[in-house]
Amino acid sequence: MSSNGGASYGADEPTSYGLQPPRPGVPEQQPGVPGPGGVPYPGNPYAAPTQVVPEQQVPQDPGAGRLIAGRYRLLSKLGHGGMGTVWRAKDETVDREVAVKEPRVPDHLPERERANVFERMRREARAAARLAHPAVVNVHDVAVVEGQPWIVMELVQGRSLGAALQEGTIGAREAARIGLEVLGALEAAHAAGILHRDVKPDNVLLGPHGRVVLTDFGIAQIEGETNLTDTGGFVGSPEFIAPERVLGQRPGPASDLWSLGVVLYTATEGVSPFRRNNTPATLQSVLNATPAAPNAAKGPLADAITALLGKDPARRPNAAQVRRLLEEAAQPPAPEPTQVADRVRIAGPGGKSVRVGRKGWIGIGAAVVAVAVAAYLVIWDPFAGPLPDGWKQHKEKDVAATLVAPPEYVRGEPDRSTDKGHWVSYTDPSYSVSIVLTLYKKSEDTLNEIAGTASSEAYQDADAMEKTDDSSFSNMAESPAPKADTTETSYDGGEAAENVVTYVDDQTDADTPRPREARIFYYKTKSGDLYKLWIDYPGKGDFTERGREVAKTAIANLDIDKP
């Protein structure tokens, strides 16, 4: 930690809040899928499953059994904070479990001020009840008991993000996913004129099926109330409060976004960036300290966190800008290595490299080179029969075709900001097998690179692969030259072609060259557009037969919209 300003009481004091780092070698889990050992929170290997204690063994909380407003029976405490206690309760009128928040205000407040606080709580709770968003906890009722508003809310089964973080940080993708849900809740609230004012991990619930819920909308904090009490205590959570609120300025949506940035930093970096050993030191660090740059969070997520923690609210990104960064960070990784390139290098005779351009055997035109370029193709069979169990059809608008893939395969597509190509890919989670469909549009072929027929294109690709040489890569490991076998076939009554390719991939790991197989299917439509569907996989080993099955099924079930 560092500080941009001198604080007499510890802005530079080391944080007292540390979390365990991610376990080395543990991959980030998919959202909603249990991790190793039944861990229910993706990307957090330390988050242990919730232990269910038989109800008869749970000691009864004082106050349990009390009936609120004639219908809400208090069962047990779920948690408590500076503004009240949350109970699990039974709505005896409709026979459902709910969460009921019992309000609490400082005892030293005069009765008139206490009444004003309760009235503002009622108004804001009713405003929050109007919000309709899946990431906003539903407020069912405001029950007034002896002048105090008891807030009746949806009971979300799960743990808080704060509880999960006590057992370890979460991965960047899962943090971005959670951040997107919280951001959506904040956008809905801000559109309704409601500020949350207490966005923190303890108010983010991780429910079943990957659901994320932000609680305590308009309840925990009341706009306009004094931040510091007479005793120096802070209403809320000081480490998550934006600098402008510490200074007593009127908060706005940017204040909630600051708090989201602190949550994301804490969740991924394993340390609360502004927490110190006491409240005054924490407030000084919020005003003056600059946290260390994100380390576990990379790329767009790190950019979002850094921008959100800007001291000046006017210079923070708005919700739309944050959403774009988090959406990018939440995307599954593209097949490795993914790159945009005009040329692909593969090993050639004598240890030299073959450089294949757009007209080369890959021919995916400045698009994707996934896991190593390759594929092995079969003749299209219009009577392929039903799909294997679990396979899914994917109607892809950008390539005007329907593609099939096994259910666990991950979808990839071009980066629209840099790549104007028309392609889509599906890759198995191990990156061993890839399916890529590319469309070359005649209307965009200004250099007349599309051959006259599908078979001509296939022959040209095969010739370029076997004969093209480039001595600038002569230092590469020696490998056999790629081999291609071209065959003319048909598709939907029209002419088509295929290339059967075998080669050695020594680009990924020069010390351990890997044999590869590839099937590439070529078809040219009546309008002159060219399709290439290629499937690549290991040329030897356990994945070879599986790759051939994937290739056969993917090609046999390719459905082009306008053949």
Q: State the CB neighbour count (10 A cutoff) for residue 420.
A: 12
**96 and 178 co-located in one domain:** no
Residue 470 domain-assigned? yes
**Which pLDDT does position 524 carry in this prediction?**
93
CA 512 – CA 508 distance, rounded (Å): 9
Decide if 360 contacts 468 (C-beta within 8 A): yes
Domain boundary among the residues 134, 154, 174 is at 154
Q: Which tokens sit at 23? A: 């376990």
Q: Is 483 within the bounds of a domain?
A: yes
420 and 502 within one domain: yes
- 503 and 452: one domain? yes
Same domain, 117 and 177: no
Q: Which listed residue (12, 61, 91, 198) is catalytic?
A: 198
Q: In angstroms, rounded to a whole number, what is the distance separating the alpha carbons of residues 497 and 329? A: 39
| Backbone angles phi and psi of 253, in degrees to 5 | -55, -35
* CATH of residue 449: 3.40.1000.10
Query: What CATH number has the domain bearing residue 85?
Result: 3.30.200.20
Q: Does residue 491 sit in the same domain as residue 530?
A: yes
> Do 258 and 279 belong together in one domain?
yes
Residue-level pLDDT at 452:
87
Indicate whether 185 belongs to any domain: yes
* Same-domain status, 325 and 465: no
pLDDT on residue 344? 38
Answer yes or no: is 342 within a domain.
no
Q: 98, 124, 154: which is the final residue of a domain?
A: 154
pLDDT of residue 265: 96
Residues 277 and 417 in one domain: no
Q: Tell the residue number behind the tokens 């991950």, with chain if given.
A: 410
Same domain, 206 and 126: no
Token readout for 136 is: 């906003």
Q: Which residues of 177-190 are buried (b: 16+ CB within 10 A; e: fewer)?
A: bbbbbbbbbbbbbb
Residues 193 and 297 in one domain: yes
Same-domain pairing of 123 and 191: no
Residue 153 token pair: 């809310």
Per residue of the chain (563 residues), give pLDDT as tens: 333 433 333 444 444 334 444 444 444 544 444 444 444 444 553 355 544 444 444 456 778 889 999 999 999 988 776 567 889 999 999 999 999 988 877 777 788 888 877 877 777 677 777 788 889 888 888 888 887 888 898 898 888 999 999 888 999 999 999 999 999 999 998 988 888 888 999 989 998 888 999 987 755 443 344 433 333 344 458 999 999 999 988 889 999 999 999 999 999 999 989 999 888 899 999 999 999 999 889 899 999 999 999 999 999 999 999 999 999 999 887 655 444 333 333 333 333 333 343 334 333 333 333 333 333 233 334 334 468 888 999 999 889 999 999 999 999 877 655 555 688 999 998 888 999 999 999 888 888 888 888 988 988 888 877 764 433 333 334 557 788 888 888 888 889 999 988 888 755 545 567 888 999 999 999 899 999 999 999 988 888 899 999 999 999 899 998 87
Q: Which domain holds residue 82?
A: 66-154
C-alpha separations of 161 from 37, 174, 211 in Å:
19, 12, 12
CA-to-CA distance for 522 and 502, rounded, in angstroms?
A: 17
d(CA 111, CA 402): 69
At 454, list the tokens.
């599908």
Say if residue 134 is in the same domain as residue 195: no
> CA distances (Å), 230 to each of 14, 234, 235, in order?
27, 10, 11
Number of domains within the chain: 3
In a domain, 26, yes or no: no
Helix or strand or coil: residue 513?
A: coil
Which of 154, 184, 212 is the endpoint of a domain?
A: 154
> Which residues belong to the annotated binding site for ATP?
101
The answer to whether position 511 is within a domain reads: yes
For 63-109, the DSSP string reads TTTPEETTTEEEEEEEEEETTEEEEEEEETTTTEEEEEEEE---TTS
Would you say residue 289 lies in a domain? yes
350, part of any domain: no
Residue 502 is which amino acid? T
561 catalytic residue (yes or no):
no
Contacts of 198 (CB under 8 A, 6+ apart): 216, 220, 221, 236, 237, 240, 259
